Amino acid sequence: MAKYNYKNCQSLFGYSADIHIRCKGRCQLCGCGGVPLNFDLWRQMTVEHLIGKSQGGYLSQLRELVDKYFSELHDSKRENLARNIDKINTVTACQFCNSTTSRDVHSISMYELFEKLHSNREMLVDGVREACASILKKKQQSVEWKLEAVREAYESQVLDKILDS
């Protein structure tokens, strides 16, 4: 039998690998994972877009926005700008945190950030960084609140049944 091609796990390799390395294998929303690294937990990690697809936060959408607002830049500079903003907008998240926050809609979209700040690249990047830091903090608070209820239900409704089975 042929060896499985690990590159089929795009949520762990490819585009996502740099994000997981930058975040040191730790969920940026709940803090699980990290050092010491644990393969079984690490393989459950995914990428979280702080500003999601519905608000223009995916790399392909960022490229379009950069092309629209910074058409005077050389192709490589536009690509670098889009990737820099994407790096600010993406973090590692565990499956639980990703699924419980993925539909969050925030008070500002990438479209609005570009419209408001496109006159100056540095201001745009700083504005995206500030917005993403605020969104990350709100997501962390939301996850903490949800985890309290989920842990309580796990301990009262699931744990003993698993141990007894």
For the cut 90, the answer to whether the pLDDT of residue 92 exceeds it is: yes
Q: Does 63 fall in a domain?
A: yes
Q: Does 3 fall in a domain?
A: no
- Proportion of the chain above pLDDT 90, given as a percent: 82
Instruction: Compute the average pLDDT of residues 96-100.
Output: 93
The boundaries of the domain holding residue 21 are: 8-164
Question: What integer pLDDT is reported at residue 106 of this predicted model?
Answer: 84
When divided into structural domains, the chain yields a total of: 1
Average pLDDT in the chain: 94
Question: What integer pLDDT is reported at residue 77 of this predicted model?
Answer: 97
Question: What integer pLDDT is reported at residue 82 of this predicted model?
Answer: 98
Question: What integer pLDDT is reported at residue 9 of this predicted model?
Answer: 87
Contact 73, 15 (CB under 8 A): no
Question: What integer pLDDT is reported at residue 89 of this predicted model?
Answer: 97
pLDDT in tens, 16-49: 999 999 999 999 999 999 889 899 999 999 999 9
pLDDT in tens, 66-80: 999 999 999 999 999
What is the band of 103 on the pLDDT scale with cuts at 50, 70, 90? confident
Q: Does 2 fall in a domain?
A: no
Instruction: Compute the average pLDDT of residues 109-136.
Output: 96
Q: Does 123 fall in a domain?
A: yes
Q: Does 156 fall in a domain?
A: yes
Q: Does 65 fall in a domain?
A: yes
What is the band of 10 on the pLDDT scale with cuts at 50, 70, 90? confident
Instruction: Output b/e per residue, 57-91; b: 16+ Cβ within 10 A.
Output: bbbebbbebbeebbeeeeeeebeebbebbbebbbb
CA distance 63 to 58: 9
Q: Does 81 fall in a domain?
A: yes
What is the band of 128 on the pLDDT scale with cuts at 50, 70, 90? very high
Q: What are phi and psi of 3, to 5 degrees?
A: -70, 140
Q: Does 105 fall in a domain?
A: yes
